[in-house]
Structure 1
Amino acid sequence: MNLVIVESPAKAKTIKKYLGKDFEVLASYGHVRDLVPKEGAVDPEHDFQMKYQPIERNDKHVKAISSKLKNTDALYLATDPDREGEAISWHLYELLKNRKYLKGKPVHRVVFNEITKKAVQDAIAHPRELSMDLVNAQQARRALDYLVGFNLSPLLWKKIRRGLSAGRVQSPALRMIVEREEEIEAFKSREYWTVEADLKKEGAPFKAKLAQYGGDKVEQFTITAEKQAREVEKTLLEAAGGKLDVVKVTKKQRRRNPAAPFTTSTLQQEAARKLGFTTNRTMRVAQQLYEGVDIGNGAVGLITYMRTDSVTLANEAVDEIRGYIADKYGKDQVPDKPRVFKTKSKNAQEAHEAIRPTSILYQPRDLTKYLSKEQARLYDLIWKRTLASQMVHATLHTVAADLAAGEGNIFRANGSTIVNPGFMAVYQEGQDDKKTKDSDEKMLPPLKEGEQVDLLAIRPEQHFTEPPPRYSEASLVKALEEHGIGRPSTYASIISTLQDREYVELEKKRFYPTDVGRVVNKFLTNYFTQYVDYDFTAKLEDELDAVARGEEEWVPLLKKFWKPFKERIDHTQENVQRSDVTQEKMDEKCPKCDSPLSIRLGRHGRFIGCTNYPDCDYTRDLNADKAEAEAPKEVGRDCPECGSPLIFKRGRYGKFIGCSGYPKCRYIEPLEKPKDTGVPCPKCNKGTLMQRKSRRGKIFYSCSTYPKCDYAIWNEPVNEPCPKCGWPVLTIKTTKRRGTEKVCPQQDCDFAEPFEEQEAAEETTTD
């Protein structure tokens, strides 16, 4: 009997099916050992010796594995095929190696990029030893993150506020978001005008844009005011006389090639654009598809490993895809040679293939009944992208026509037609914040040089330049990848960490830095400039990759990092005052005491306050002008208790409505009334559960009769009784491991069942 160890029980179930009765498959349930959670876990004085301890919640799984070894002949470590998976196998081996049941028995490391019968059996037949290069690369990463966190975080507590923390890769990502926001705030919009002609030829309408006026090329800021635009309009109408002359027609044939198969980064980007998935949701669902789904004849891994920066496809997969295309779409839709895509990453060994279906014959429409809605949508995206990557290019005919309105005035019309859609019949890649070009949408009527077309109208249109867009999850992942910050497995955790620390907020799918995020970024960029520098962070990632390849030693790498970093920590500790970080001087005097004002960070964000505090208590909102601060704005109705005007006020938990007669009258009400879910309170059965925000901005649900009834829950309530214990409500809960479920909120009840999430965006891929 042989024992195989994987991370998750779902993966264990799938693999067991392929290995038969001579193999037992158990799960470690992820990491089994981690650094001790206190200072000194990494010792720079002794070659960065690392002190580990078992993870308590998984200790029972390690004991089960140890017990099972008693009746086994060999141990196979089959954790994920990347450096983190390698480290999990090593940590498990370190915990087991001195136990009596393992002594003298062979220990093998096996890796497979897909959970299929052939891949798993091939891996078992060709095991290798643990790679200490991969393990040491992961240890070095963990040590770096620990050293940064355990030294920077206390500094943030002392210089800014308690409870803050900083991370090695999260800090440059925060810098990106803050710098983009500052760029938007500093942006000065400029007015400009364009001039379009509405035209018609033989009943077919089309448009053309002014490209040349009076012999000069028309550029973005050629026309900058309405008066000027109206003069141009008048001149052109007079010169045209109701007709435009076709003076030049240019026809070209253009090719458009398909995008490469998915990497982790591009999958996260496309799932965000097309499905509205967060990076965490994408990776959670992809993990489920990789580990195996029961499709009627047992669990089957549907996609290859989803943490990869490679765009390579296995030869057998390419052959199967090309055969499928020829069969379903025709031989003319198959390129003469298989498409080969070049991997950008220098270290594309996190996995050896792109993300693809384990078999293109697993068609999405055939699997729909076996998959959850989100699994089906993500699989469909992966399947179509993979299929399209091996199809012929799309062929487009483009037309550009110049039409004259008198001497020296040229309008230009662009259009295109698809001659052969090729891969576009299956899939087109999404884009971030890019406006579709006119030539990609318009079709022009047949035009010949020397003929005339009817001029229906000339329309000047006003425009204003716009600042760069804030980052979405897709564009942030793309920027992180372009700068070399993090690696495929870290993008989701970088984003979730920034949100969990309340350094950024996601509003309308765009990232905004919070006041605390801005101050933390200012502190790091001013005093730890090198460590939030994009190039420095990327170079460090490259060095970790070199360790993984066996080209560099990990201890010298840590030494090179640690000495200057520790010196910078000590210098900042001694020489930087809290006021240097949390206050920003202003060229304005306090209206109360004539002392200088400053922008300061308080418990609830940045505000303007007097530097003579506590002797002077003058404050106002950061974005409020002086008149508004000195004369509070009235709500427009009177206090129901004393009749004084109600005014907008700000307290320790944000804005609210209060009585102007304070302190004689203490009437207050929230600025935003809580949302009523309509679900009856299960405790008192008199009120309903209201959606509210905690003082830290976290959503919770409590009884509308509070304080008479104090019932409250964190998860969204559902007006359905628990089928197991009968409690009047269930809640919707989402976790990384189990996904979204309906669960009973009672602690002593373990009822849970899958719940289909409401989709955040509609499917936009083509069939």
Structure 2
Amino acid sequence: SEISSILGISASQVMKVLQELFEFGLITYHRTDSVRVSDAGIKVAREYLSEKLGESWDKFFEGRVWGVGGAHECIRPTRPIDAETLRELISEGVIEIPRRLHNTHFRVYDIIFRRFIASQMSKALVRKRSVEFRVEVITGDSRHFELPPISKEIISEVVFDRFNKVLKSLRVYQVPDDGLYSSEGSDFKYYVESVYEVPLHTEASVVRTMKERGIGRPSTYAKIVETILKRRYAFSKRRGELIPSLLGREVYNYLTEKYARLVSEERTRVLESKMSSVESDDSLYNDLLRELYEELRTNELLGVTGYEL
């Protein structure tokens, strides 16, 4: 969902690009939400930083595993090669790829590479300051009013960049030494906007919400959104917002009225948990299948009844 938001492309497009990067051997398995880093992954980060930073690399490197167990590790690059170098090596024929990579491939790879390398670097040291914004407004018809003050903590200086040397995610604001700043005559535009109690979802926010609520898995996030759009349960606007269709609402109402227990978020979370339990060998899959079969039989959702497990 983060890549989708950054690049402004759909979740299905992101998954397609990730699938191709994986098939080309440039990244590890991508249909996972694991954060675990293998020894091989830590080695990739160590080699890259030692080559790029020279003798001072060990001041920046802080190898981390981040998690334990699981069938897969985190999504990461398979080699200590950044996006710029990868583009050059492919152009020179040093690295051969079955199909031509487009700019989107390199942009997605760059996000993955920077985020992973940063995760293996030491923390940045910054100075922060608390600031308060006060604005007095004079309108064109000479009316005066003051906007409510806004307090915010900002970064005024990066003392040691460390992980930010690669990720470049810290935003620094310049603050006067005396802590005071004033500006007169600045132009302000006043916008009147429609405010919705629940803002419209985008594909990225749908995926993010599913993650937060424990619905679905990395291998199904994009497919779920793709299916919703394909069946016209919702439509995507030009700016990416999703609008539920009449058909989508009717299907939702029918399922929640007739099978509320089976399609609830809580039921989905419980089922995901049980599947994970089977995957980690904490429970037997036969027990789970029997439970699901009985549930479907009770709700008369089986095409053939009377079959016993």
Question: Aligned partners of 1:509, 1:460: CA distance in 2, in Å?
Answer: 26
> Which structure has more RCO (C-alpha within 8 Å, separation ≥ 6)?
2
Question: Aligned partners of 1:499, 1:383: CA distance in 2, in Å?
Answer: 31
1:142-176, CA deviations, whole angstroms, 9 ceiling, x for partnerless residues? xxxxxxxxxxxxxxxxxxxxxxxxxxxxxxxxxxx
Question: Aligned partners of 1:320, 1:387: CA distance in 2, in Å?
Answer: 9
Cross-structure match for 1:308: 32
SS at match of 1:489: coil
Give matches, 1:80-479, under 5 Å: 269-292=1-24, 301-329=25-53, 331=56, 334-335=59-60, 337-342=62-67, 349-351=70-72, 353-360=73-80, 362-368=81-87, 369=91, 371-373=100-102, 374-401=104-131, 414=152, 415-419=154-158, 420-427=160-167, 442-447=173-178, 456=184, 466-467=195-196, 468-479=198-209
- Cα offset for 1:537? 0.7
Select the structure of larger CA radius of gyration: 1
For the 8 Å contact 2:62–2:122, the answer to whether it is kept is: no
1:388-421, CA deviations, whole angstroms, 9 ceiling, x for partnerless residues? 211232333222256999xxxx966654323233
For the 8 Å contact 2:32–2:218, the answer to whether it is kept is: yes
Cross-structure match for 1:86: none
Cross-structure match for 1:495: 225
Q: Does 1:512 align with 2:243?
A: yes
- Stretches of structure 1 that go unaligned for 5 or more consecutive residues are 1-268, 293-300, 430-438, 571-767
- Cα offset for 1:536? 0.9
For the 8 Å contact 1:395–1:421, the answer to whether it is kept is: yes
Number of residue-to-residue matches in the alignment: 273
Give matches, 1:611-622, under 5 Å: none
For the 8 Å contact 2:62–2:120, the answer to whether it is kept is: no
- Cα offset for 1:539? 0.7
Distance change in 2, residues 1:455/1:367 (3 Å): closer
SS at match of 1:426: helix
1:431-487, CA deviations, whole angstroms, 9 ceiling, x for partnerless residues? xxxxxxxx9564221116xxx876736989677683332222222112112222222
Question: Aligned partners of 2:128, 2:168: CA distance in 1, in Å?
Answer: 19
Question: Aligned partners of 1:441, 1:381: CA distance in 2, in Å?
Answer: 21
The one-letter code sitting in structure 1 at the alignment partner of 2:157 is I
Cross-structure match for 1:538: 269
Question: Aligned partners of 1:286, 1:358: CA distance in 2, in Å?
Answer: 13
- Cα offset for 1:427? 2.2
- Cα offset for 1:538? 1.1
Question: Aligned partners of 2:286, 2:134: CA distance in 1, in Å?
Answer: 71
Distance change in 2, residues 1:271/1:337 (3 Å): closer
Distance change in 2, residues 1:321/1:441 (3 Å): closer
- Cα offset for 1:519? 0.5
For the 8 Å contact 2:37–2:64, the answer to whether it is kept is: no
Question: Aligned partners of 2:21, 2:59: CA distance in 1, in Å?
Answer: 28
SS at match of 2:278: helix
Cross-structure match for 1:650: none
Structure 1 length-normalised TM: 0.32
Question: Aligned partners of 1:403, 1:381: CA distance in 2, in Å?
Answer: 33
Question: Aligned partners of 2:191, 2:23: CA distance in 1, in Å?
Answer: 54
Cross-structure match for 1:166: none
SS at match of 1:544: helix
Distance change in 2, residues 1:366/1:461 (3 Å): closer
For the 8 Å contact 2:27–2:77, the answer to whether it is kept is: yes
The one-letter code sitting in structure 1 at the alignment partner of 2:222 is A
- Cα offset for 1:376? 2.2
Question: Aligned partners of 2:206, 2:18: CA distance in 1, in Å?
Answer: 20
1:240-283, CA deviations, whole angstroms, 9 ceiling, x for partnerless residues? xxxxxxxxxxxxxxxxxxxxxxxxxxxxx132122233232222
Question: Aligned partners of 1:413, 1:333: CA distance in 2, in Å?
Answer: 38
Structure 2 length-normalised TM: 0.74
Q: Which has the higher helix share?
A: 2
The one-letter code sitting in structure 2 at the alignment partner of 1:372 is L
SS at match of 1:417: strand
Give matches, 1:666-681, under 5 Å: none
1:643-692, CA deviations, whole angstroms, 9 ceiling, x for partnerless residues? xxxxxxxxxxxxxxxxxxxxxxxxxxxxxxxxxxxxxxxxxxxxxxxxxx
- Cα offset for 1:336? 6.4
How many percent identity over aligned positions? 28
- Cα offset for 1:426? 2.3
For the 8 Å contact 1:309–1:350, the answer to whether it is kept is: no
Q: Which has the higher strand share?
A: 1
For the 8 Å contact 2:235–2:242, the answer to whether it is kept is: yes
SS at match of 1:560: helix
The one-letter code sitting in structure 2 at the alignment partner of 1:357 is P
For the 8 Å contact 2:60–2:162, the answer to whether it is kept is: no
- Cα offset for 1:522? 0.6
